[in-house]
Amino acid sequence: MILLPAIDIHKGQCVRLVQGDFSTAHQVAADPLETALSFHKAGAKWLHMVDLDGAKEGRRVNEALFLKVARDSGLELELGGGIRTMEDITFYLENGTSRVILGSVALRNPQLVRQAADQWGERIAVGIDARNGMVATEGWLAGSNVSYLDLAKAMEQAGVRTIIYTDIARDGTLSGVNLEQLEALSKAVSCRIIASGGVRNLEDIQACKELGLYGAICGKSLYSGSLSLAEALETAGE
């Protein structure tokens, strides 16, 4: 299982949110590139980054920062937030990003997802973020009446091979991952599943591994010290 330390960017700073609420944003590290380099030094191979401003505004906002991290960190970069067009997808993938995450656009424009998956294959992931099992969009500011399982099945049909699932209620809370929903998702589709939201300690990493998940994203647990990245990487078996 791969482990992806997370850096969320808001107004150029490394921040964490609680349950996707922008009013809870607080800085957790001084410099994005230095933070990425520290993850690389600890043994990480992947980095998960989100353009929170981009997710909110529906466009690329902090692109220069992401290109710098992709170029200089030594990590494989997985990036989401504000990626809504083929131009956005191509821009990032042709400039050092290893995998892009399509979020809100997956619900609104599945044809774009299909086109992207046809062209870029495994370098396309879909992020499914849900409250009480129902998909949320636009940087988690808007809800929907679509089940996370139904969207996952539609994305599988569109050719998507990787799904990142976030239980918004647990994101940034250190309350543990939602194993029940992750297991249901894993059984519903053949896609590779990355767990996001609520990772607290090594027990969560072990539980995700035992579910046979492809990966797990760790954010607040690393910054708060409840999880050692080196120990988590060892537990994940990466």
Instruction: Please identify which of the residues 8, 51, 167, 171 carries the catalytic annotation.
Output: 8
Burial class of 74 by CB neighbour count within 10 A (0 to 12, 13 to 18, 19+): middle
Neighbours of 77 (CB within 10 A): 23
21 is catalytic: no
199 in Cβ contact with 171 (< 8 Å): no
Q: Where are the alpha helices (DSSP H) in 4-62?
A: 32-41, 52-57
- As a dihedral over the C-alpha atoms of residue 194, residue 200, residue 202, residue 206, rounded to 10 degrees, the angle is -40
Residue 55: CB partners within 8 Å, gap ≥ 6?
80, 81, 82, 103, 104, 138, 139, 140
Instruction: Please identify which of the residues 129, 167, 171, 204 carries the catalytic annotation.
Output: 129
* Cα–Cα dist 213/86, whole Å: 28
Query: 102 pairs with which residues across the strands?
Result: 126
What would the two tokens of residue 158 be?
Answer: 């569109």
* Cα–Cα dist 103/232, whole Å: 27
134 in Cβ contact with 113 (< 8 Å): no
Burial class of 182 by CB neighbour count within 10 A (0 to 12, 13 to 18, 19+): buried
129 is catalytic: yes
Catalytic machinery residues:
8, 129
